[in-house]
């Protein structure tokens, strides 16, 4: 049985002054608050980020001109440990978005029982328009602007949308230059040669795979009889597609920002990935020497992919992909959120009414931050693990927390997303209350 206590209905998390995306995101807690014994003090502290930073980053471009980019870093909560969260490069990055992502990270780290709080960062930029030299100057400029805001025991960075191990290496190097000593633990997701961890580049996908393998058998789903569509064919989506295909699942559709392909009989995922990596396009045909894999397919849009009649839908791109406008079109029986926030709060209600099972991002995509934790630990100890050790520890962590979340959902007869927030809230509440509450300070000696 899950030990939970209802709280007064007067407790609410959403604040009318919160910005649009964050207000929508924080609504996810409303249902969870009904089932946890969390103090009013804890709710008050979780309602707002601990610290937010907005910076300007001047970059000298290759043609000699100067451009100034907007950058952000939000440390939402550090009660359970230093802030932890990625840095994304995207044209739509805003403080509202970064704050929302930092909020999610807070609950993700608590859900996985990692000794971290939640943080996030980003730069408003289209990295595809920058040369490699400009990208390096931007990355180092970002660190120069936020150096006093981060640290090995304060706030730890990681890759996110359109950032990678090379960029993380630049950031770690720049921070070390500023501090005048090597600071490997300030950034995770680095290249192996400068302190990165085995398995970090595939951790998000590997973690999601273990979550799927934990949950789908509970609904009598077997891989060979399960069709899958994946929106987002970046590192996480493509790696997960390969893992699922090797396990016997039929991947019938994949897409990237330009569109997608669909083949009811199943796609040859290694061929699709090879073509994507070599030509930056998704196609189902790839030929090399005497080996040629040809699969008949049709071209589809991202919206068409979301509406395909498949068993499992995996949004692995950006947030707000399934909304009130298209949720009714979703035909999948299960949704696993590999992206952060791909399903809006309004869409959640529609999908739940349709009987669609949605497995939340704060659990499904937590493999990345889990192995980032492993990397941080290895950096601090100076002792590095093999790929097998990393993968085994990751599998144990993901399966353990997935099973605990499932137990909460079954015991309370609620949806998995609410159960995940309950699980995280219980841990956050205990940590926040350990510093003292109204009840504690109201007691007279």
| Active-site residue (options: 50, 84, 108, 120) | 120
CA distances (Å), origin 214, targets 217, 220, 226, 362, 398: 7, 11, 15, 16, 9
Query: How is the beta sheet containing 357-359 ordered, strand by strand?
Result: 298-300, 259-262, 250-256, 227-231, 312-315, 334-336, 357-359
Integer-rounded Cα Rg, in Å, for the chain is 22
Q: How far apart are CA 30 and CA 11, in angstroms?
A: 9
The answer to whether 334 and 216 are in contact (CB under 8 A) is yes
CA distances (Å), origin 372, targets 119, 189, 315, 403: 13, 7, 22, 22
CA distances (Å), origin 58, targets 12, 68, 112, 132, 400: 41, 4, 38, 16, 45
Q: How far apart are CA 225 and CA 89, in angstroms?
A: 38
Place of tokens 């009987």: 355
The answer to whether 252 and 311 are in contact (CB under 8 A) is no
Closest CA to 335 of 307, 303, 360: 360
Task: Give percent helix, percent strand, percent coil of the chain, each to the nearest 5.
Answer: 45, 20, 35
Q: Is 246 a catalytic residue?
A: no
* Residue 385: both structure tokens together: 């693990």
Q: How far apart are CA 185 and CA 376, in angstroms?
A: 5
Q: Report the sign of the C-alpha dihedral through residues 138, 142, 145, 147, in that order.
A: negative
Q: How far apart are CA 251 and CA 146, in angstroms?
A: 42
* Residue 327: both structure tokens together: 């949720």
Residues tagged active-site: 120
């Amino acid at each position: 049985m899950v030990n939970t206590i209802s709280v007064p209905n007067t407790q609410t998390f959403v604040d009318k002054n919160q910005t649009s995306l964050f207000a929508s995101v924080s609504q996810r807690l409303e249902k969870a608050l009904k089932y946890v014994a969390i103090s009013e003090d804890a709710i008050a502290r979780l309602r707002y980020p601990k610290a937010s930073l907005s910076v300007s980053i001047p970059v000298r471009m290759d043609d000699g001109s100067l451009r100034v980019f907007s950058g952000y870093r939000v440390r939402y909560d550090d009660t359970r440990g230093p802030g932890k969260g990625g840095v994304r490069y995207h044209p739509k990055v805003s403080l509202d978005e970064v704050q929302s992502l930092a909020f999610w990270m807070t609950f993700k780290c608590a859900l996985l029982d990692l000794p971290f709080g939640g943080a996030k960062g980003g730069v408003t930029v289209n990295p595809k328009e920058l040369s490699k030299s400009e990208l390096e100057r931007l990355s180092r400029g970002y660190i120069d602007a936020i150096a006093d805001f981060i640290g090995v025991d304060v706030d730890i960075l990681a890759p996110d949308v359109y950032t990678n191990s090379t960029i993380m290496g630049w950031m770690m190097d720049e921070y070390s230059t500023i501090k005048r000593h090597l600071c490997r633990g300030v950034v995770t997701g680095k290249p192996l040669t400068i302190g990165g961890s085995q398995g970090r580049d595939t951790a998000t996908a590997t973690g999601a795979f273990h979550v799927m393998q934990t949950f789908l058998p509970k609904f009598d789903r077997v891989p060979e009889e399960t069709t899958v569509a994946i929106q987002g064919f970046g590192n996480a989506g493509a790696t997960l597609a390969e893992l699922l295909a090797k396990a016997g699942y039929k991947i019938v559709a994949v897409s990237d920002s330009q569109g997608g392909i669909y083949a009811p009989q199943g796609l040859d995922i290694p061929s699709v990935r090879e073509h994507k990596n070599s030509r930056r396009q998704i196609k189902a045909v790839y030929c090399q020497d005497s080996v040629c894999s040809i699969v008949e397919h049709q071209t589809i849009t991202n919206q068409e992919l979301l509406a395909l009649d498949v068993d499992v839908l995996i949004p692995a791109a950006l947030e707000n992909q399934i909304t009130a406008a298209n949720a009714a079109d979703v035909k999948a029986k299960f949704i696993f959120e590999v992206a952060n926030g791909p399903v809006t709060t309004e869409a959640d209600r529609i999908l739940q009414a349709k009987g669609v099972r949605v497995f939340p991002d704060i659990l499904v995509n937590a493999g990345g931050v889990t192995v980032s934790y492993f990397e941080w630990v290895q950096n601090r100890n100076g002792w590095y693990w093999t790929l097998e050790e990393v993968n085994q520890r990751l599998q144990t962590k993901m399966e353990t927390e997935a099973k605990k979340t499932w137990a909460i959902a079954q015991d309370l007869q609620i949806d998995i997303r609410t159960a995940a927030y309950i699980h995280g809230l219980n841990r956050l509440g205990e940590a926040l209350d350990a510093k003292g509450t109204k009840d504690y300070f109201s007691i007279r000696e």
